[in-house]
A = this chain, B = another copy of it.
Amino acid sequence: MTTQPPDASSSRVEALTEPPADPATDPMGDSDYRLAVVDLLGALAYGELTAFERLADDASFAPSIADKAALAAMAVAEYNHFSLIRSRLEELGTGPEEAMEPFMPALEAFHERTAPRDWLEGLVKAYVGDGIATDFYREISAYLDDSTRDLVLRVLEDTGHSAFAVDRVRAAIEADPRLAGRLALWGRRLVGEALSQAQRVAAERDALAALLVGGVAHRGADLAEVGRMFARLTENHTRRMASLGLSA
């Protein structure tokens, strides 16, 4: 026979100090939603870690020590973002590596297929690639609980490389207008590869896809809204290319 606790109310006290997962009050109580958030944070964390690596890598192309140091500073900002998300994953009781692992193949494939050949390609990639990723996460953040949304918006804050990239790329094109054709082509290739890897992730990660299209407790958008979202992402991309002095 199992022994009953001498006072049944003591177990209720414990339950109060660590409340049961109730989807009505604790969004993480909904296990599908929790899975989707862990996926989202895992993808974002690995994205920041590879952004760190990529910016540090691109620093080797820098034409001056000051440019090298500027890129290194941006890489460090990405690492600090990564570190914030990793802490949140740990708070959620999830192994950060476990959460990031599913997104390694898509992110590594993206970076392998879009390795910049020079300083300018690196800057265009940082600006255009991060721009699309940031827009996408901002759109998704509308369907998140307050605490997760605050974290996501915080790590998406511009680390200053947008203005830096726009300034350097515009100056280079002004100095040599023939660069515009090659860099415009490069921008299109970046978007194509980003979309193809995003589709791969959406096909493989049900919870994450459901968060986007309303499957998780009807938080997400309907399909018409997803269509409008993609239209917005495309418009923003075109606007970014224009600000570099390039056609999309």
Residues of A within 8 A of B (CB): 46, 49, 52-53, 56-57, 59-60, 64-66, 68-69, 72-73, 75-76, 79-80, 82-83, 86, 96-97, 100-101, 104
Contact = CB atoms under 8 A, between A and B. Distances in A.
A41 to B, nearest CB: 14
Identical chains in the assembly: 2
Contacts of A96: 65
Contacts of A86: 69
Contact of A53 (B49, B72, B79, B83): B72
A66 B82 CA distance: 12
15 contacts: A46-B65, A49-B65, A49-B68, A49-B72, A52-B72, A53-B56, A56-B57, A57-B60, A65-B104, A66-B97, A69-B82, A69-B86, A72-B79, A73-B79, A76-B76
A87 to B, nearest CB: 12
Nearest to A78: B72
A101 B57 contact: no
A56 B66 contact: no
B65 A56 contact: no
A186 B157 CA distance: 42
Contacts of A66: 97
A51 B88 CA distance: 29
A64 B101 CA distance: 9
A68 B101 CA distance: 12
A108 B103 CA distance: 34
A57 B75 CA distance: 12
Contact of A49 (B46, B69, B97): B69
